[in-house]
Copies of this chain bind each other. A is one copy, B any other.
Amino acid sequence: MKLHQRREFLLTGVAGGVTAGVAAWGARRLNGQQQATRESLIEDVVTANHILAAQEIVDAFGHVSVRTAPGAGRYLISRSVAPAQVTAADILELDLDSKPVGSEKRTSYRERFIHGEIYRVRPDVMSIVHCHAAALIPFGITRIPLRPVYHNSFFVGEGVPVFEIREGGGDTDMLVSTPELGRALAKALGNKPAVLMRGHGAVIVGKHIIEAVARSVYLEVNARVQAQAMSMGQRVTYLDEGEVRKRTEDPDPYGRAWDLWKRQAAR
């Protein structure tokens, strides 16, 4: 089964009714499922913000969102505050044009279009992270491709393209602050798990919030390990296509991490 087919299969499975296997992941972990309460979704977004800050994937900047339900045209994201400081009261609901729904007057991040435009074209994506992790920047500005060096970063083997904002955008302030730039970024991402942004950072997606957060953590680890290995001047053995595919079949490779990171972030 091809990776993107598998994604659609999973999406169908989730949208069409929780299967036994999926149910075993625990209801809290499947934020996309229809039974997830709004409260638990908000709690997950708050927790994800705190985890990403504690893991030093984001600093004062960066954001994370979750789609409200499979197939839904809405997503939850914080108003414009630093991830470590996000509380439930800061979470806004935006539509795919990245406009607040209802009578909401507060605004989210200037780069909220990253989220709306990816959700629009990637029905399989239920959660999105945007970060500036320093270890990722050298790969974006040198165009040396990220390749999978570590089994928990296996998803890197699906491909991590680079978004060059100059292509189409010309000279910008580097921020994805318009729907057009959001669409260009979503196009660069394609059907991949993540995209680097040249001189800026990265966007990482997932079929649920745990996957988006864990991929963010392990994308950064992969970058550090790969850079170190490449500097040692010998041929590097990367995970091959078969290994990536087999590892992808694990329904819950990161579940154990979420609870630990949540506890660590709470300190």
CB-defined contacts of A151 to chain B, threshold 8 Å: 173-175, 199-200
The reply to whether A200 and B260 contact each other, CB–CB distance below 8 Å, is no
Interface: A15 (CB within 8 A): no
Cβ of A224 within 8 Å of any chain B Cβ, yes or no, is yes
Number of identical protomers: 4
- Are the CB atoms of B257 and A144 closer together than 8 Å? no
The answer to whether A261 touches B60, judged by C-beta atoms less than 8 angstroms apart, is yes
Residues of B within 8 A of A135 (CB): 228
A137 interface contact, C-beta 8 A = yes
What CA separation (Å) do A110 and B141 show in the bound complex? Answer: 39
Q: Separation in Å of the A214 CB from the closest CB of chain B?
A: 9
| A43 on interface, CB distance cutoff 8 Å | no
B150 contacts A137, C-beta separation under 8 Å? yes
C-alpha spacing A228/B139, complex, angstroms: 10
In angstroms, Cα B175 to Cα A249, docked, is 12
| A143 CB-CB contact with B under 8 Å | yes
- Mark contacts of A226-239 with chain B using CB atoms, 8 A cut-off: 1 yes-contact digit, 0 otherwise: 01111110111111
The residue in chain B whose Cβ has the minimal distance to the Cβ of A81 is B256
A14 at the interface (CB under 8 A from B): no
Answer yes or no: A154 CB below 8 A from chain B CBs.
yes
Bound form: Cα–Cα A80–B256 in Å: 8
A134 touches B263 (CB 8 A): no
Give Cα distance in the complex from A59 to B221, angstroms.
11
Stretch binding the partner chain, chosen from A1-9, A25-33, A67-75, A240-248: A240-248
Against B, the Cβ 8 Å flags (1 = close, 0 = not) of A136-162 are 011001111000111110100000000
Binding site for B on A (CB under 8 A): 59-61, 80-82, 84-85, 132, 134-135, 137-138, 141-144, 148-152, 154, 166, 170-175, 198-200, 221, 224-225, 227-232, 234-240, 242-243, 245-247, 249-250, 254, 256-257, 259-261, 263-264
